[in-house]
Structure formats: C-alpha cells, structure tokens
Structure 1
Amino acid sequence: MTEVLSQDEIDQLLTAISTGDMDSEDTQQVADRKNIKIYDFKRPDKFSKEQIRTVSIMHETFARLTTTSLSAQLRSLVHVHVASVDQLTYEEFIRSIPSPTALAVINMDPLKGSAILEIDPAITFTIIDRLFGGTGEGSKVNRELSEIEQSVMESIIVRILGNMREAWSQVIDLRPRLGQIETNPQFAQIVPPTEMVVLVTLETKVEDVEGMMNFCIPYLTIEPIISKLSAQYWYSSVRRGATTENLNILRERLATIGVTMVAEVGSMNLPVRDVLSLTQGDIIRLQNTRVTDPMVLKIGNRPKFECRPGVVGSKVAVQITKKLEDVQQDDFEELTVEGEEE
C-alpha cells in the first residue's frame, strides 16, 4: 500500500530535488519508508475510535436526562455534559480520583461484572445540602459520608441509573442496580489493576458549584456487546422504527402505567352560590339522567364503556355492558352540549 508522506517530508523532498542534493533512487527510498506506530503492550487499545464515539453519543443522552431529573429533584439549575471518553487501565482510574469520595459499585445486568460511578465530593455535598434544605453552596468538605448522607446519595444514584438504562436502550436492555457505596477507592477493586476500562467523564454543575462524575466500565463487562458499539449498528437501530420486538417492549412498558378510570353517574350545572350552600342531606337532581340509564366509564377524560353499578364481595364495582368506540366521539360532544343548553 502506498504510504502518505507528511507535509514536512514533501517539503524536504522538493527542496532536495530542486537543489540536486537527492537523486531519484534516494527519493524512492524515502517513499518506501514505512511509518512506525508505537504500541504499549501494558496498555493495549481495546476500543476503536468508532466504539469510543458511540459510547460518547450514548452518554450524551444520559447527560441530558440526568440534567433534567436532577434539576427537578434539587429544584436548582443543574447542567451535565460529556467532557471526554478515554480508555485507560483500572489502576490509572483509581489513582486519578480523590479519597474519600462517593464511589458507587453498579451491577450491570444482564452484562457480567460491575461498573463504577464516582461523584466528586464537591457535587456530592452540594446535592446533600440542597436536599436538606440548604442553599447548595459548595463547601470544601473532605470527609466520609455519614449513614444518613449515604442513604440520601443512594436515592440520587438510583434515579441516575434509571437515566442510564434509557440511554443504553438502543444497544441493550440494561438493568443497572446499585450494589454498594464505597468512600475509599482502594476498596473498590472490581477488576485487576492492569485491566483496560473505558472512562466517561461528565462535567457537572449545580448552581455555581462545578465538579466531575466519572463512569468507569471495564472491558470485560462491555465485551459481549462490543460489536454493537459501532456507528452502523447504532444508526440502523435508530432507524428500525416500529419492529415487532420494539412494539412488544413498548407494550410491556405501557402495561405497567397507571390509568385513572371514573364511573360517571351523571352531571349537571350549578351556580357557585348553590355549591357553597350545599349541606349534608341535600338532594341534587341530575340532568337528562334516569335511574335505569347506564353509567359511563371514562378512561382519563374520554368515555370508553357503558356500565352498571353493583358489588363484588364487600367492594363496590361496575360491570361493563357496552363498548362505546362504535359510537363517534362527536356524538358524545353533541349530547354534552345539548345537555348543557337545556
């Protein structure tokens, strides 16, 4: 394969040829010279540039979700963004973080092994101060977390892990779980010191306090899905759209969402003065409603079924008698308007 010369080498060749200091044979020897790439066997590169880029894109989504969730929980201005994504040895990562610090060991189910989420002490104590009712001003506290403070940080980390699951959803249905919180980095030996890891550094700002969050993922943990960390797989998974698998996942998630259902006996309009004068024992006469009429079962604010009241055991219940989707929604709106006018 033809080697590409640098600009300096091209300039030297042109100068030498123009002055006659180099003949054609020397020129051919320079062109045939191969570039030598230094390779450190103690720190082998296990992640390609494309895979590092994909990891960065995933955690940019994670950073946006975390910014929103922390801002809502702390009722304060929070900003999180990806500063860098690097690969290094686990020993180098452990040496780069302060001690003591808030260091959460994360179980990366269904992947094997664990990862580490490290939160800078300045950010940790600012979050705790905000949740305890303080102003969240940064303080140069250098101590281990108390049991109460550790419990507070556990709830914060659990919320953050929910954002991580969503950010990884295009690659794998990750179910990260908080294992434990350590304060001394030396006690968190999840892999051998020489093992390669990918380190995602997130710049975090809470009001005027700035710090770092570091997410460390060992290569052994991420190895089973390393082939999915490519731009081709990433963008193809985004474009897949409504596949059967995605629809099944969507149905499973929607199945757990709570929906408000109301069985409506009837309705009527009353002036505010009449509402304020209501007392126990008063009778309210409903408009256009007879005793034999069915009740309307609403899901949210939309009528969906007709039903009749009854009991099941010791509980009040309704029995669905008719599905209202066969009737146009406009018909209900017309009935409502007519009832109001009367």
Structure 2
Amino acid sequence: MDSLEKLGLSVYDFDRPDKFSFENLRSLDSLISVFSRNFATDLSGLLRMPAEVEVKKVEQVPFGSEYLEKREKDESIYVVTNLGDKEQIILQLDVGFLLAIHSKQCGGNFEQIKKVKKNITDFEKLTVEHLVENYMYPPLREAFKNIWDFKYHIERIETDPQYAKITVPQDMVALITLDVRVRTDHTQVQIVIPFLSIEQFIESLSTDNVLKNRKTETPPEQIFYLNDHILQIKRNFEVEMGVLNLSVNQLLGLETGDVLVLNEVDKPMVCHFGGKEKFVGKIGAKDGKAAVKILGIVKDVEGKKEKIEKVKESNSVLDN
C-alpha cells in the first residue's frame, strides 16, 4: 500500500466505485436543505403542529448490497417515483410515521411514532399518495428546478424492498437521510437517487451552478401572501378595566353581592391585543354602544409600564 501511495496510485474498489464526486454530494446536500425547509413548513400545516426537517447525511452506496439487502420487509414504505421515461428515485418513509399521519388525517390524534412492521392497506396507501404528491413533490420540484425539471409521479408503493428495485444492484446511489421531528417524536425519511437516473444531469450538479441559480430574495408573490395572511389573523382586543390586589383571606371571604372597586371609568385604561399591552384608551359610548377611544400606543420595549403611566397622566391632565 505504501509503495502505491509513493507512485500516486490507490486501490480501486470495484464493489463501491465512486460515481458521485464530492462536489456532487455537497450540491445535493445544499439542494435537499432547501427541500427540507419547505417540506417542514408544509408538514406543519398538514399536521397543525410544529415539525422540523433537516439533512442528516448524504452518501453514496451500492444499491444492492448497501441499500436493498439491509432493509427489512414491512418496516418502511418505498414510494417509487418516475422522473421521466426511465429515470426513477425512491422516497422512503417509516410505516410508524405514516400511521401517525393517517390517524391525524382521519380525524384522530397524531399518535406517537413507533417502530411498526405492517403491510399497509389500500386506504393507508391513499394517505401516502396524498402526503407525497401534495407535500413532498412540490418542494422537491422547487429545490431541483434549476438542475432538472422533471414531472414527478408515483409509479408504485411497496413495503417489500425487493419490489422497489429501480436500478441494477451494482449501481451507485446517492442515499440522502433526513431527520424529521414532530413535537418530540423522531423519524427518518430517505431519498434514493441512482447515478444512472441522473447521469445526463450530473455535470449540472455542481456547487457553482447551485449557488448561481439560488434565489436570495423572497419572491414578491410570497411577500404578498405573507402580508395578506398576517392581516387576516384574528386576535382578541381586551380593555383592562382595572387591577385589584387581594389577599388570600380576602379572596376566600368574598360572597355574592360584594362589590370590588376598580379604576374610575373616566381614567385611561390599558388595552390588550393578543394578550399583550399595546394601547392606552378611554371608555365611552358611540351611537348608543360602548366604545374605546385609543389615546396612545405602547411599544413592546423596556420601560413599557412607565410609558403607560406617562400616557395616562398626560391624558388625565388634558381632561382636567
């Protein structure tokens, strides 16, 4: 071995030939990171709970010996995806993750993600199709659109890895492992990309090309959507009529008919929006209905209490 190194030579492993260069794998990592962020956002919306997705590992392995032979039947779901006429990739999900999503989609709770061995039913396959086609394909297409512009569609869904063969056993594949967290539960999603499926695009899979085509600015339509969404958010607007400090003994001694004296109604009062002090206002009436006149805005900064008292005092002086 030392003599080979002196001659500038190295041993070539015919069982694990390097088809993806280091730059190819690094570019895949960058692209899948974009997919992960978008998928996490879509998954959170689907489940109505916080979800995080991040790239754990990107490596190249032989498809037969290091991928298919190390998978057990009915532990994972293999979504064989067509990219074009012959090109295919695999999206791999844990069965336990699918069952938790299926329970949520059917009106139940998102159950704890457990390691399960199960041949999924046709009804559960519909949940797989819904998840993949609506929440995985769109961010995947968006992440890779500057490298290749495939139209993803499901070829078949399997739980037996032997029926998920998409290339020859000796072909090298890029195996991308994603760590998915929903609340405190963890699971993994894997993406398998055979070299033969993307060989014609491998030159485009470079760091310079990925960075050149990546947008650094938020699209105007997304900004418009976010602004519109924020403006539609509803929160409670509450007027604090007063605060009263009572001892536990006084609280226990309260009876029906007791009167608690709060602020005078003609004094400025604190207004809350979304549970936070935002305004100082004065209660009154307009058109025969109770109303609040905003006298000042309290920003969420240090010295907020002092600002509230200052606005109250200034308005009290004006009233006098």
* TM interval, short-chain normalised: 0.5 to 0.7
2:36–2:55 CA contact under 8 A, matched in 1: yes
Contact 1:200 1:215 in 2 (8 A): yes
In structure 2, which of residues 152, 176, 182 is the aligned counterpart of residue 176 of structure 1?
Answer: 152
Corresponding residue for 2:188?
212
Matched, 1:123 2:94: no
Structure 2 counterpart of 1:224: 200
Q: Which structure 2 segments of 5+ residues have no match?
A: 222-285, 289-320
1:104 corresponds in structure 2 to: 79
CA-atom RMSD, angstroms?
Answer: 2.5
Corresponding residue number in structure 2 for 1:40: 13
Change (3 A) 1:46 1:206: same
1:141 aligns with 2:155: no
Please tell me the residue identity of whatever aligns with 1:79: E
In the alignment, which of 216, 220, 238 is matched to residue 214 of structure 2?
238
**1:114 matches 2:72:** no
CA 1:56 to 1:73, structure 2 compared with 1: closer, same or farther past 3 Å? same
CA distance in structure 2 between the aligned counterparts of 1:171 and 1:219, rounded to whole angstroms: 15
When residues 98 and 65 of structure 1 are mapped into structure 2, their CA distance, relative to the original with a 3 A threshold, is farther
Cα pair 2:96 2:115 within 8 Å, conserved = yes
The 2-side partners of 1:113 and 1:152 are apart by 24
Displacement of 1:58 in angstroms is: 0.5
Shift of 1:220: 0.7
Residue segments in structure 1 that go unaligned for 5+ positions in a row: 1-8, 10-29, 242-249, 251-270, 274-342
Give the counterpart of 1:88 among 45, 57, 61: 61
Contact 1:123 1:204 in 2 (8 A): no
Number of aligned residue pairs: give it: 215
* SS in structure 1 of the partner of residue 27 of structure 2: helix
- TM-score, length basis structure 2: 0.62
User: % of aligned pairs identical?
Assistant: 28
| Partner of residue 165, structure 2 | 189
2:23 is aligned, of 31, 50, 55, to 50
Query: Structure 1 64/272 Cα, relative in aligned 2: closer, same or farther at 3 Å?
Result: farther
Per-residue deviation, 1:240: 11
In the superposition, relative to structure 1, how do residues 71 and 239 fare at CA in structure 2: closer, same or farther (>3 Å)? closer
Q: 1:123 to 1:272 in 2, by over 3 A?
A: farther
Length-normalised TM-score, structure 1: 0.58
Q: 1:59 aligns with which of 29, 32, 43?
A: 32
In structure 1, the residue corresponding to 2:83 is in which secondary structure?
strand
Cα drift, residue 196 of structure 1: 1.0
